[in-house]
Chain A
């Protein structure tokens, strides 16, 4: 026999009341836990994915859209920019690194990104199997893409136009898987990487423009002998060497920029935005803005969770307070059997805290469980790399907080137990 067994039996003796209190509290705690896990992981993913990219330069439109599309690969492009204008930006002395991005095609919902190998290098990506893409129409794919679409080295596929699965197929050209990346827990896991020329190729073949022939000529030239000197009048573009510098036709979606010095953060955005057709967006600024927009919804959910927790605390207090009336004989009998006043106080405090600890433990488990189920069954959560099996130190605060809440609910009933006049109660007039 010990006090825990006693408390446990008291809780078992009122099963409906106990279950109600635990369910109320655990729902509140579960909502808090889900918000905590989701928010923390999202922020972590966002800062990891935006790491190393100081500025995104693209077509005019929503700056948030520009960031979402070109860094997180979840929104649609704002439009295209001329390669020649992108080169101008890249030549700026404040720019340390400029990476071209060409979007527009996808395969079964996974985006195909035309870029250079500097792009995966930002994330420190490594090859798991095969090698990096070299020639046109070769791709290196992210770990999730390989897993979900069951793609192996040497497999071929045709892309769909657009970033959704219902775009029309670009059947004329087949991409070939050359390499598979190691999992990096970044956006790369969900991307299909190739060179910019391949993106132009699938679109130009389709549209049968003049540019195609020019493109193929350049390409053939390049493939024939890479080290061979180009024609005397051919000055390669600094961004895409197979194209002549200052090309007036070619377009890309955006340019990811790394500054040479902090000075860039002050001067570059203003300078780029001053040019008629370009827009610059800072990932840091835009993601902060995104979070402040999301924050309203998060705050409402949080408020709801706190209301649930408050109601459960009130309910626990009322349950303890009422049960004390029925239990004053029990308390007096316990005193007659040698229990000190402090033992009664500890019993009541324990009852409150066992309830809230159980509620919060179940709530934490439930929160993790819901998120884990979501990460398995909801594709978007999966793509965002959010998991339920991640633990944060804040969860200790939830546990300790709920313990304190239980003690708080039990304090007034415990004081009453302390003050019980045993003689009066046992004489039947207490």
Chain B
């Protein structure tokens, strides 16, 4: 392996997706290095979310190749793909989508449980601490502020130390101050956990934060 050209964490080639037979989306090739960060920019409807979902294995492409680490996920069966997603990919969505019936801690514990990895109490404490949520562990998620809820969602995404973090519009609903805080947080937790970060957004404020950018 060439040190000047490190192993890609995410690689996308010749990707096609069709919602219906006559509407076909064609995506540019993509290559993000291990531990790197990349912005997917584009207006609403340009297919950012679709590409993110394809990379996360939530959608099946019509054609093309998607590699996460060494695995071509387009070749995986649905069940294997579910398992792969749980172990290697963490999602952060624009809306936080926490499970309201569960406490903060139980929301976090869903991640290792559903991914089929054993849960590590110390790891949960560490992540809660990193995100300033230590005293909220047993709080009802409905009582959290928007910012706190978003931090819980980020904590959940990084708990399993995923190879790749996929974030869909994580900042578009936030004011400048919170936008800065969230992007700094994402960058720092990604670094701490050695995760590759891919953010799909139309938020122009992020352009100055991440160098690698792909425009759809």
Contacts and interface: CB of A to CB of B under 8 A. Distances in A.
Interface of A: 1-2, 5-6, 9-10, 12-13, 329-330, 332-341, 343, 422-423, 426-428
A338 B86 CA distance: 4
B207 interface: no
Given A1-B110, A9-B101, A334-B114, A428 B95 contact: yes
B82 A330 contact: no
Nearest to A7: B101
B101 A337 contact: no
Contacts of B139: none
Nearest to A339: B114
Nearest to B58: A423
7 contacts: A13-B100, A337-B86, A337-B115, A338-B114, A423-B53, A426-B53, A426-B58
B53 A6 contact: no
B85 interface: yes
A332 B106 contact: no
B133 interface: no
A1 B58 contact: no
B101 A427 contact: no
Contacts of A330: 97, 99-101
Nearest to B94: A428
B53 A338 contact: no
B58 A338 contact: no
Contact of A12 (B78, B101, B115): B101
Contacts of A12: 101
B36 interface: no
A258 B191 CA distance: 95
Contacts of B156: 337
Contacts of B109: 1
Contacts of B42: none
Nearest to A427: B49
For the residues of A in contact with B, the DSSP-based class is: helix
B93 interface: yes
Nearest to A337: B114
A6 B113 CA distance: 11
B170 interface: no
A426 B58 CA distance: 10
Contact of A1 (B50, B78, B83, B112): B112
A332 B84 CA distance: 16
A338 B106 contact: no
B106 A329 contact: no
Contacts of B78: 340-341
A423 B91 CA distance: 12
Nearest to B113: A1
Contacts, number: 82
Given A336-B91, A427-B49, A422 B58 contact: yes
Most buried by A among B53, B99, B119, B156: B99
Given A333-B99, A341-B78, A426-B97, 4 more contacts: A1-B113, A6-B99, A337-B86, A337-B114
A12 B106 CA distance: 14
A330 to B, nearest CB: 5
Given A6-B102, A6-B110, A423-B58, A333 B82 contact: no
A18 to B, nearest CB: 11
B111 interface: yes
B91 to A, nearest CB: 5
B102 A2 contact: no
Nearest to B82: A340
A336 B50 CA distance: 14
A380 to B, nearest CB: 49
Contact of A338 (B100, B101, B115): B115
Given A1-B106, A1-B113, A10-B101, A336 B56 contact: yes
Interface string B104-132: 00100111111110010000000000000
Contacts of B99: 6, 330, 333-334
B59 interface: yes
A5 B106 contact: yes
A196 to B, nearest CB: 75
A2 B101 CA distance: 14
Contact of A423 (B59, B82, B87, B112): B59
Contact of B85 (A2, A329, A336, A423): A336
B69 to A, nearest CB: 16
B119 A338 contact: no
Contacts of B23: none
A338 B97 contact: no
B82 A427 contact: no
Nearest to A323: B101
A269 B92 CA distance: 88
A337 B100 contact: no
A413 B150 CA distance: 29
B110 A335 contact: no
B97 to A, nearest CB: 5
B177 interface: no
Contacts of A428: 94-95
B42 to A, nearest CB: 14
B86 A339 contact: yes
Most buried by B among A330, A334, A337, A423: A337
A428 B116 CA distance: 27
A2 B119 CA distance: 11
A328 B51 CA distance: 22
A12 B110 CA distance: 17
A427 B91 CA distance: 12
Contact of A13 (B87, B91, B101, B115): B101
